[in-house]
Amino acid sequence: MKNKQESIKELQEQVRKLEGIIEKLSTDPSYGIVTRSALELELPTVSDRARFLIFLDIDGLHDLNERIGHDESNARIRRALHVRAGDVLIRGKWYSGDEIVFILPACDPEGFLSRLQEGFAAEGLSFTGAAVEYTGKLNSDVDRAKDIVFAEKRARGKRDR
């Protein structure tokens, strides 16, 4: 029969393993950002500080993947998504690999988008993005920002797969 110490150590090890599994399921391996479900779970922990939602759609990702391969595309996007630590409360994938959502504290959202554009341009990438005030209704806020993004893409005649 196991003693109390051995049982506690076994339980601690099981907890560590479960935490590792949760971390793997919560993080998108391609870009190193949280998944949509993890974003939705984490949002209540920061919602009192959330002021803006940014939605961006990476331009021409399908063509880029075909030209340079998924691994190189993912590496470029991962580098381009790197932002200053205090700028973002949460960032995560939305529906697909080319849609990213950022939840920001009180800040200059246009300045944030500009810095992101610079990072993307340095990697030979671009995106179309929009910032909206975060109202606490994640899906409707994403829809508002997404409508702006896709209206802009239609106006420019962009066809991104």
State pLDDT tens for residues 128-154: 999 999 999 999 999 999 999 999 999
Total domain count for the chain? 1
CB within 8 Å of 55: residues ≥ 6 apart: 94, 99, 100, 101, 129, 130, 132, 142, 145, 146, 148, 149
Residue 105: which region, alpha, beta or left (left: phi > 0; alpha: psi -120 to 50)? Answer: beta
Q: What is the span of the domain harbouring residue 31? A: 25-156
Per-residue pLDDT tens over the stretch 57-104 = 999 999 999 999 999 999 999 899 887 656 777 777 777 779 999 999
The reply to whether 149 falls in a domain is yes
The reply to whether 9 falls in a domain is no
The reply to whether 18 falls in a domain is no
The reply to whether 89 falls in a domain is yes
Name the more confident of 131 and 31. 131
In this predicted structure, what is the pLDDT of residue 11?
86
Kindly report the CATH number assigned to the domain that includes residue 70.
Answer: 3.30.70.270
Burial zone of 3 (CB within 10 Å; 0-12 exposed, 13-18 middle, 19+ buried): exposed
The reply to whether 5 falls in a domain is no
The reply to whether 111 falls in a domain is yes
Residue 156: which region, alpha, beta or left (left: phi > 0; alpha: psi -120 to 50)? Answer: alpha
The reply to whether 161 falls in a domain is no
Query: How many C-beta atoms lie closer than 10 Å to residue 48's C-beta?
Result: 7
The pTM of the whole model exceeds 0.85: no
The reply to whether 65 falls in a domain is yes
